[in-house]
Amino acid sequence: LELDPSHLDAERVVHEPALAAAGPRGTAQAAPGRPAPQAAVPGQVQGQASSRRFAGHWALLVERDVQALVAVTAMLERLGVRPLTAADLGEALETLQDEGPCGLVLLATLVSARDTCDTIQAIFSHQGERQIPVVVMGNPEDQAQLEACGPPGTWHFLPKPVAPAALESLLDRLLPGSPGSGADGGA
For residue 26, is it within any domain? no
Structural domain boundaries, residue 145: 53-181
Within a domain: residue 154? yes
* Parallel/antiparallel/unpaired status of strands 11-12 and 2-3: antiparallel
User: Cα 7 to chain center, whole Å?
Assistant: 33
CATH number for the domain that contains residue 74: 3.40.50.2300
The total of structural domains in the chain comes to 1
- The number of angstroms, rounded, from the C-alpha of 5 to the middle of its chain's C-alpha atoms is 33
Predicted TM-score (pTM) of this structure: 0.68
Answer yes or no: are the C-beta atoms of 74 and 83 closer than 8 Å: no
CA 13 to chain centre: 22
Write the Ramachandran bin of 20: left for phi over 0, alpha for psi from -120 to 50, otherwise beta: beta
Ordered per-residue pLDDT tens for the chain, 187 residues: 444 455 544 444 433 333 333 444 444 433 444 334 444 444 443 434 456 788 889 999 999 999 999 999 999 999 999 999 999 999 999 999 998 888 999 999 987 888 999 999 898 888 776 788 999 999 988 888 888 888 767 899 999 999 999 999 999 999 876 655 554 443 3
Contact 19/34 with Cβ under 8 angstroms?
Answer: yes
